[in-house]
Amino acid sequence: MSLHVDVSHYHNVLLVRLSGELDHHTATDVRERIDRELSKGIYAHLVLNLSDLTFMDSSGLGVILGRYRQVTQMGGKMVLCSVQPSVYRLFELSGMLKILPFCEDEQRALHVCGVAS
């Protein structure tokens, strides 16, 4: 299976919705796509909606952790939302639950970023 990346925004929040599998085959494309958007300098925060992400491996974890570092170094917030149980388990096993904020849905994630939806 492949990966579909849907990029949009809400105010100063970059919204990225991932569908499919985030693995070593697709990680570079995702990283480059998000980095390209963030480099525009118009987004303060990043929300990753993982509701349709069916699989992720350590390459995907690396992409997400790297974007988290990038956004927080810019003074912004990164929030993950709507994470499937199998993907959530990977975050749990990796210890990233202690680092990354998670929300139930996109609306709550936007609220955490300081934007009312």
Q: What is the pLDDT of residues 63-75, one digit of tens each?
A: 999 999 999 999 9
Taking alpha carbons only, the member of 2, 5, 10, 13 closest to residue 50 is 5
Residues above pLDDT 70, as percent of the chain? 97
pLDDT on residue 59: 96
Instruction: Specify if 81 maps to a domain.
Output: yes
Residue 117's pLDDT band (boundaries 50, 70, 90)?
Answer: low
Instruction: Specify if 40 maps to a domain.
Output: yes
**Where do we find the tokens 């390209």?**
36
Taking alpha carbons only, the member of 12, 25, 95 closest to residue 55 is 25
Instruction: Specify if 47 maps to a domain.
Output: yes
pLDDT on residue 18: 98
Evaluate if residue 1 carries a pLDDT over 70: no
Instruction: Specify if 65 maps to a domain.
Output: yes
> What is the spatial distance between Cα 6 and Cα 35, in angstroms, rounded to a whole number?
14
Q: Which domain holds residue 88?
A: 3-112
Instruction: Specify if 117 maps to a domain.
Output: no
Instruction: Specify if 82 maps to a domain.
Output: yes
Q: What is the CATH number of the domain that holds 30?
A: 3.30.750.24
CB 68 within 8 A of CB 80: no
| Tally of structural domains, the chain | 1
Evaluate if residue 81 carries a pLDDT over 60: yes
Structure pTM?
A: 0.94
Q: What is the pLDDT of residues 87-96, one digit of tens each?
A: 999 999 999 9
Q: Is the dihedral of CA 82, 3, 95, 8 positive or negative?
A: negative
